[in-house]
Structure 1
């Protein structure tokens, strides 16, 4: 039996845990200072009534013998998948039902989707970036290249024509800088990906910024 030694290449502490410790120390030593937090962030508003009502109704449903239904379908409930299809249809994107999969969350998807790709693929990520993009590939042992997001390029690095990559992560608006690519800038990345036969992993939560 052999272990995956690439886990030893991870940092000793998850980035956001390290940031939280440093913030706590700084606040304790300098309580008069105001800290601008660029860490993991948090939600600031309560759930809307439609969401809480639906959650309560779902719990009540599962708590009664007459309406209890056990595990849901492995691909997700049909009503939800059809709702997602309808959402994208309004934007001119036609999807088959089999193309919609309901998962347990984006963070686990970031790791799970990499199972589709060979370990020899070269990964390109902007720097700084959401640490899960990096850590999931470190654990798989892939080679990672970085595009520096600096003040000079508006924290929006263009495609590096001098290197070739197979998997590209775009985080726009960027976490943690907040900088967002415009359509022309994203088009340059799409052209780069097509020229290199690469795949772009882009968070659909940010589609309103395209």
Structure 2
């Protein structure tokens, strides 16, 4: 990918010299590295913990396959798309709805919340738009630690945060041991319909028997997915380049140009 100008990448695939077959199911090494360095700098996330995909919603479905059908889950109420996906698919029978309304600061009352195996959490939330504060996310991580739960953190809308709230769950100490993060290029660079996203699975995240969850997720990806479109990945990489920052970002610190 680095030897071919990105703007000519689609055309290059039609040539003998530029043609590429199936790529790595986990995504191109260059893009995985760019995601880790752009969005998770100083958070300890390695490129090998980043899995490039065809979108956050698709990865949420793969995570359901990873966890199996007998897990208990918690979701914010309201939330899109996780709650609808699980309710309509019938995947989970044991769903705990965590009310998030103005009266509780759009954050669930964890003190009386039921313990579940998995907690799906979206920040900023769709549809309320609320971005969880650092203190709220610290409570969420502590809650997961105390209950042996896994957080699936949807940060697809994180680029819209302007009030200093965390853009990643991994800004919170201890999150690497309890959280998976799912995100998307749809809001970052207008990739809606192009289908490009990623999931981060830290190596410290373990099952109760000590087995790394990243190993199973890698197996799911390699079995059920042939990798994101090479053209979409080239576009994603371009959006994270210096030229891309001039188009999509206010500065190289990651302030989104809205």
User: What is the 5 A alignment of 1:133-152?
Assistant: 133-138=82-87, 139=89, 140-152=91-103
Larger mean Cα displacement after TM superposition, 194-203 or 149-158 = 149-158
**What is the aligned-residue RMSD (CA, Å)?**
2.2
Residues 175 and 88 of structure 1, relative CA distance in 2, 3 Å threshold: closer
- What residue is the counterpart of 2:107 in the other structure? 156
Return the TM-score normalized by structure 1: 0.65
Residues 162 and 147 of structure 1, relative CA distance in 2, 3 Å threshold: closer
Instruction: Flag as ranges the 4+ runs of structure 1 deviating above 4 A.
Output: none
- The answer as to whether partners of 1:125 and 1:134 remain within 8 angstroms in 2 is yes
d(CA) in 1 for partners of 2:111, 2:72: 13
1:175 aligns with 2:133: no
Given candidates 37, 40, 59, the residue that maps to 1:109 is 59
- What residue is the counterpart of 1:43 in the other structure? none
Structure 1 residue 105, shift from structure 2 partner: 0.9
Structure 1 residue 111, shift from structure 2 partner: 0.6
d(CA) in 1 for partners of 2:82, 2:33: 29
Query: 5+ unaligned residues in a row in structure 1: which ranges?
Result: 1-52
Structure 1 residue 162, shift from structure 2 partner: 4.5
The count of residues paired between Structure 1 and Structure 2 equals 155
Query: 5+ unaligned residues in a row in structure 2: which ranges?
Result: 167-258
1:77 aligns with 2:28: yes
Residues 73-105 of structure 1, C-alpha deviation per residue, up to 9 Å, x if partnerless?
2221121122233335622314262x2221111
- Radius of gyration: which is bigger? 1
- The answer as to whether partners of 1:88 and 1:94 remain within 8 angstroms in 2 is no
**Other structure's SS at 2:151 match:** strand
